């Protein structure tokens, strides 16, 4: 059911500093920051030959990643994102298998302008999983 790894998301306390680190120290191709108010984050993507790294910074006090950063002030890995061919079929299959879909269970439009869903980390070895329509 899952396809390729789309990205690994890392929450950071300072997006500009993290972007410089990935661009200058690691030599990565880093996108411009994009505010995602619907998701409460500002994101940049680091392009790799086989996937992407998504750097996330909280956007406002109500950001869903703010509590993660409060617990992990230096930042850290937040989630992995896998592509699926049919997000609704994947959701229905996973729910039938007992997995919990976060939120209202309906896909939202993600940072790549494609439908996404998040799966409860307790159902996936302690890892928050994002599914993105390929």
d(CA 74, CA 60): 18
d(CA 127, CA 90): 18
Give every CB contact of residue 58 below 8 A, 6+ residues apart in sequence.
11, 40, 41, 42, 65, 66, 69
d(CA 127, CA 78): 8
Task: State the catalytic residue, choosing from 54, 57, 83, 130.
Answer: 130
Is 130 tagged catalytic? yes
Give every CB contact of residue 17 below 8 A, 6+ residues apart in sequence.
none
Four-point Cα dihedral 14, 20, 22, 23, nearest 10: 150
Give the residue numbers annotated as catalytic, written as ranges.
130
């Amino acid at each position: 059911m899952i396809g390729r790894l789309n990205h690994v998301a890392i929450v950071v306390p300072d997006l500009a500093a993290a972007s410089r680190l990935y661009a200058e120290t690691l030599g990565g191709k880093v996108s411009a920051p994009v505010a995602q108010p619907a998701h409460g984050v500002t994101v940049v993507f680091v392009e790799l030959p086989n996937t992407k790294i998504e750097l996330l910074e909280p956007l406002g006090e109500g950001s869903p990643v703010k509590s993660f950063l409060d617990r992990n002030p230096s930042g850290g890995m937040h989630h992995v994102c896998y592509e699926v061919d049919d997000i609704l079929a994947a959701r229905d299959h996973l729910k039938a298998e007992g997995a919990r879909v976060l939120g209202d269970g309906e896909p939202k439009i993600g940072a790549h302008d494609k439908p996404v869903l998040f799966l409860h980390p307790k159902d996936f070895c302690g890892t928050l999983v994002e599914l993105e329509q390929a």
